[in-house]
Each structure stands twice: as structure tokens, then as C-alpha cells.
Structure 1
Amino acid sequence: MEVFQLILCIIGVVVFSSFVSRFIPKVSTPLVQIAMGAIITQVPGFPNASLNPELFMVLFIAPLLYLEAHEIDKSELLKSLKLSLSLAIGLAIATMVAVGVVVHAVWPSVTLAAALALGAALGPTDAVAVSSLGKEASLSLRQLGVLKGESLFNDASGIVGFQFAIAAAITGEFAIGRAAGEFALSFIGGAVYGLVIALLANWLFETVRSLGWETTTTRILMELFLPFMLYLTAEELHVSGILAVVASGLFVRFDRTGIGPNVARTNIVSSSVWGVLSFSLNGAVFILLGMQLPKAMSASWDDPGVSNVRLSIVILLVSLVVVTMRFLWVAGMLRLARDVNTGKRRKMTPARWRSAAVMTFGGAKGTITLSLMFTIPFTVTWG
């Protein structure tokens, strides 16, 4: 009963936050939701929130990533695929290693595996945040396309890297060769599995529609069922559930086919349902974060065994490493990229340096990073 009450309370706060945001348009809705989450924990009798990490990944990550992959502009994604993959995989791995090495060097009691997990969690960017920034910062279509593509793929690379680092931190064992092999198998296997399921889903939905069996209710229920089923079955097969969800979201196209008033009405209702679900899940993540913040911060800040000065320095240092790594990577990428018309590399002009700065701060962190932070264990089995 307490869990049900918690769910109702969180949904109520998500709804209330949407009204509050209308009166303070200069403050982003996620920040409002974080603040409200921190406030409601002070209300007497408010139920405590604790989520199983696996449940959190299935409940929040799977549907959000599926929707993000499905709605991305495929033509823009193809145009900027190389640049997006460079940021999503190359920069994500470089950030994970850089943050891990720096944190472990500055604070040796934090194991290298745990520090790498922190770096992996700080890698993913958020497509929703990128879209919001694009409206306010006047990002070009090219920049927006690169950042959205990056946010889609680095969710997968960051989460897989995070899972391996956490496993190493908990077990105390990390074999590079074995980890690399498992990483590749997980990546490729997850992508192939997601593609196969997407093709089967396309065939099934289109067949049901052609036979006249499709109804709005069954179609939407099947759509909502797909990402959860994909993630769970992929994990059972020991391949990446995240990659499976992303690959399937990219190739599912049944809602783009068919004509007629019934199909159009079903597509409109489906879009509305997904919009509500996306806003609710995103809002729930930020409210849960706000609920956890006071306890999470006080656990370290009030601990006499932890130096608050060192803690503050490490936070600033990690932020600096993440921003600097991103700026240098983007600048190098712009310098090496060849002009579409001439095929030659272009020099870095003030305008191109400015573009590098915009793309550096345009890669905002969001739901995925926060969700990963929730799954980091506070202690391991041996204390």
C-alpha cells in the first residue's frame, strides 16, 4: 500500500510541477521538479522512496530510450552519423577513463572501478535537454542533429560501460581482455536482436492492420509492451538490453505506414499516450532525484571521515575534466572533419571555436545520467 501511495504522490507532484513551470518560464521544468522532490521529503508522513536498480532500468530507461530512438530525425541522423558516433563512443570512453583516473588519483580510497563507473555515468547527454537548449541557444540544424544523434548512441555506450565498471567495483575483478570481448558481444548482440525484433514487430503490426484486426486499444498496448519486453528478453540472452531498445526504436516503422481515418486516429492517440508517458517518466526521475538529494548529500557532507574541502575540490575537478574533455574533443573533431564541398580540412576560425563551445555546453546531462546515479550501490558486500 505504501508503494501505491508513493506512486500516486509522485504522479501528483509531476502534474503540479507542470503548472508551476508555467509561472516561472525562465527556470527549466526539471529544476522545478528536483526542488519539489527535495521539499516533499520534509512533509511528515511522506512515504520513503527506494527502487531496485534493475527495476529502475526497466521502468524508466527502456521506454524513454525507445521513444527517443523512434522519434529522432533519421535523415539528419544519417548526415551527422560519423560525428555523432565519435562523440557517443569515442568521447564517452575518453570521459569515462579521464574521470576515473583523476578521481582515483585525487581520492585513492575510491577504487578505480568505482571512479570509472562515475565517469561512465557522466558521459550520456540528454535529447530532451538538447532540444530545450536548441530553442533557447539558437543551435543550427547541423549542431542539433549531431547532439541529438550523440545523445541517442552515448546512452547505450555509457550504460554498457557503467554496468561493466559497477560489476568490477562490486566483484573486485576486472579483466580487460574479457571485458572488451563481453562489451563487443553485448553491443553487437543487442543491436542485432533489436533489429530482428523491430522487423518482426513491423511485420506483425502491418499484418494485423491489413487484416482489419487492429484497434486503437490493442495497438497502443502492444506498442507500450514492446520496449519492456525487448529489454527483459535481451538481458536474459546476455546481450545489451539498451542497444536492443535503441536499435528497435530506430527501425520500427509500422506507425508510418497505412492510410485512412482509422489509422490516422490511432496514430494521433498513440502519439498522445507516448507524450504523456514520456513526460511522466522524465518528471518522476527528477522528482525521485530531488527526494534522494538531501539524504545523499548529507551522507557524505556530515560524515566526519570525509573531508568536505576535498569533496568540493573533487566535484569541481570532475566538472572541469568533463567540460574540458568535451571541448577539446569537439574542437579536434571540427578540425579533422572535411568540408562537404571541397573535401579539405578547414582551419579553426573564431566562428568554429564558438561552435565548439556551443556544442560543448549543448551536450547537457539529463535523465539517463541521473538514472545511472540511482543504481550505484552505496556499499559493497564487504563494506
Structure 2
Amino acid sequence: MALLISTAVLLVVASLVIAGFAVSLLGIPLAIAFVLAAISTPTDATATETVSEGRIVPERQEKLLRMESLFNDASGIVLLEAMVLWLRGGHFQYQVALLNFLRAAVGGVIVGIAIALLMISFRRGLRNFAGSTYNAQIMLFLITPFIIYFVAEKLGVSGIIAVVCAGLMQNSESSRSRFDHPRQYHNSLVLIDLVRDILNNLIFVVLGVMIVRIVRVDLLVANNVDLRWLAAGFLIYLVTLAVRFAYGVLVKMGPCGSVIFALGGVHGAITLALVFSIAASLTDQQFQFVVLTETMLVLLSMLVPSVVFRFILQPDLSEGAI
């Protein structure tokens, strides 16, 4: 648990601070630099699985990368909110940011556990007192994360953390009852994969449309060329790689394990979703710069490990992988 907390909090903060100051050296305003760094902190477990497909990731790194991606989203969102307030107000209120983080994290855990217990009890009661509940159970399974998220956000706590905590509890409950209702358990897993793929692909479609518009209208027509986004995206990726490698060495993963952990911090749909979430807080020029920078970061974080993992990870020759 201590390792998970340090990964989801300390590693995120260290990456934010170092990357933020590094990007500001390119002549980018400090507040914008820290906004870029905050957006780049969350990792994406789905993207990591994609780049490591067909390869055997060591168990320790695989578990830590998966758990990190669940919890560092909330850390990144809270820090991004603080950076946006800094951008708007002109100064950073660290006390407010710390209090907001603690409230969001602790409150999210409490709300997530409480609602998860209620939903588990309700589903059990529905199963015991009703007849055929298959369709109702599937619908509850699908809408529960949205209910938890919106309730938590309405209460002023982290919806991401609430959903993660509730998901861990419901996953444990579902695993225990999977033999009692195997058809429902299997279909739930299939449904999760389908919804995840649709949402992940949708965000990249929206990104593609946005980039085409930016390049066509702002770069070609208006001749508004600022290529610092290339350097900023490349620099953020290098800094986060270095910080993650140093963290891996610090927690005694070894040189190879640290490289795997560093490269495994892949960015994907979550990073892009954060970009669009702050569009209203930025000017058009700032938003375009952020979109291009984070796109560069996402592409690098997916391309580099896709190549390197082929040389440092053993191929997965198991029957399931084949």
C-alpha cells in the first residue's frame, strides 16, 4: 500500500514539478508549462497493455503499472485543477491545492466504498427476491460507475477515486460469485471490453478531427507557426522517463525493471480527455498549443515502448497469447 501511495502521489508530484520547470526553459509561461506537466501525469493501463501485447511483463512491474493507472488519474486531475486556477489567478495557492487533494482523495474513498456496499446489497437482494434478473443485473453493472462518479462529484470529492474503490470492491464480489452466475460474469467482462474500446477509440477520433482543424486553419491559413510544441512534448516525455527510471531504482526494481517501469507509463485516452476538459479555461491559442504538445507526448509514449519492448521483454508463447 505504501508503494502504491508513493507511486500515485509522490511520483506524480515529482514528475509535475520537474517537467513543469523544464518546459518553462523553452520560453513557455510557467503556468502553461505546469498545466502541460499536470496533464501528462496520468498513465493509461489499456495503452500499456497495447504496447506490450505479445510480451511478458514482469509481475511486479505489471501490477504496479496497473494500480498506478487506477489511482494517479485522480492525482493528476486535482493537480490540473490547481494549475488551471494558477493560470486564471496568476498565482499558485499551494495550501488550497493540498486541502483540495486531501478532501478529494479521502472523500472519494469513503463515497466509493459506501455506494459500492449499497449497490452490492441491492444486487444481492434483487437476485434473491426477484425472478429472472439477468437484464437488470447487466444494466446495473453498466450504469453503476456513472452513478458513483456523478454522486461523488456532486459531493465535491474525487469521482475517479470513488469509482476505482467501488470497482475494486465489486470486482472482488463478482469474482466470488462468478461460479454461481457464470453467464452473467462472462457477459459483463465482454461488455467492459466493448465499452472500453469504443470510448478509447472515440477520443482518438475526436483528437484527429481537432488536429486537422488546427493544422488547416491556424497553421496553414493564418500562418501561425509555433513549433515549440514539438520540443515541449519531446522534453516532457524525456523528463517523465528519467523521473520514472529514478523512482524505479529508488524502490529497488533493478536497472532492467526500472526501464520497464519507465517505459510502461504510457499515455493515452485519459491524457487526451484531460486536454479537452480544460478547453473552456484556455484561450484558443493556448488550447491549440496544449493539444499539439500532448499529442506529441502520447505518440512518443506509445511508439518508443512498442519498439524497445521487443528487445527487452521475452515473447509470450502461452496458448492464450498465441
TM-score range, shorter chain: 0.7 to 0.9
2: CA distance, partners of 1:357 / 1:107 = 30
2:116 corresponds to: 198
Identity fraction in percent: 30
For residue 325 of structure 1, report the CA deviation from its aligned partner: 1.6
Quote how far apart the aligned CAs of 1:234 are. Answer: 1.1
Q: Per-residue deviation at 1:245? A: 0.9
Q: Would the aligned equivalents of 2:84 and 2:281 in 1 still touch at CA under 8 Å?
A: no
1:375 counterpart residue number: 277
Distance 1:158 1:382 in 2: 23
Q: Structure 1 residues 206, 243: closer, same or farther in 2, change over 3 A?
A: same
Q: Are the aligned partners of 2:39 and 2:80 in contact in 1 as well (CA < 8 Å)? A: yes
Aligned to 2:14: 94
Alignment correspondent of 1:129: 47
Q: Paired residue for 1:13?
A: none
Could you tell me how far apart the structure 1 residues matched to 2:11 and 2:215 are? 28
Whichever residue aligns with residue 81 of structure 2, its letter is: Q
CA distance in 2, matches of 1:134, 1:260: 31
TM-score by length of 2: 0.79
Structure-2 change in CA distance of 1:312 and 1:277 (3 Å): closer
Amino acid across the alignment from 1:353: P
Long gaps (5+) in structure 1: 1-80, 336-351
Return the alpha-carbon distance in structure 1 between the equivalents of residues 81 and 158 of structure 2: 10
Q: Distance in 2 between matches of 1:358 and 1:332?
A: 14
Q: What aligned pairs does 1:300-379 form with structure 2 within 5 A after superposition?
A: 301=219, 307-308=226-227, 310-334=228-252, 352-377=254-279
Q: Secondary structure at the match of 2:117?
A: helix
In structure 1, what is the equivalent of residue 307 of structure 2? Answer: none
Moved more, 82-91 or 284-293: 82-91
Question: Which residue among 277, 281, 286 is the counterpart of 2:204?
Answer: 286
CA drift of 1:119 comes to 0.9
TM-score, normalised via structure 1 length: 0.67
Task: Tell me how large the CA RMSD over aligned residues is.
Answer: 2.6
Deviation track 1:292-334 (CA, whole Å, cap 9, x = no partner) reads: 22234567755656543x4433333222212212212212221
User: Matches of 1:209 and 1:287 in 2, distance apart?
Assistant: 40
The residue number in structure 2 matching 1:247 is 165
Could you tell me how far 1:356 is from its partner in structure 2? 1.2
In the superposition, relative to structure 1, how do residues 258 and 102 fare at CA in structure 2: closer, same or farther (>3 Å)? closer
Aligned to 1:186: 104
Alignment of 1:1-383 (within 5 A): 81-108=1-28, 110=29, 112-213=30-131, 215-252=133-170, 253-258=172-177, 263-297=181-215, 301=219, 307-308=226-227, 310-334=228-252, 352-377=254-279, 380=282
Judge conservation of contact 1:216–1:269 (CA < 8 Å) in 2.
no
What is the CA-CA distance between 1:246 and the residue it aligns to?
Answer: 1.0
Native 8 Å contact 1:205 1:254 kept in 2: no
Deviation of the 1:360 alpha carbon: 1.1
State the AA in 2 paired with 1:377: A
- The CA distance in 1 between the partners of 2:169 and 2:236, in whole Å, is 37
Native 8 Å contact 1:195 1:244 kept in 2: yes
1:166 Cα deviation (Å)? 2.1
Alpha-carbon spacing, 1:239–1:214, altered in 2? closer, same or farther (3 Å): farther
Asked if the contact 1:134/1:144 (under 8 Å) is kept, the reply is no
8 A Cα contact 1:232 1:241, kept in partner:
yes
SS in 1 for 2:231: helix
Task: Check conservation: 1:116, 1:165, Cα contact below 8 A.
Answer: yes
Q: Within 2, Cα distance between the matches of 1:359 and 1:200?
A: 37
Tell me the distance in 1 between the aligned counterparts of 2:70 and 2:179: 32
Partners of 2:23 and 2:33 within 8 A in 1: yes
From the superposition, tell whether residues 301 and 134 of structure 1 become closer, same or farther in structure 2 (CA, over 3 Å). Answer: same
Counterpart of 1:224 in structure 2: which amino acid? L
How far apart, in 1, do the equivalents of 2:52 and 2:127 lie? Answer: 37
Q: Is the 8 A contact 2:178 2:185 kept in 1?
A: no
Q: Tell me how far apart the structure 1 counterparts of residues 22 and 52 of structure 2 sit (CA, whole Å).
A: 32
Amino acid across the alignment from 1:355: G
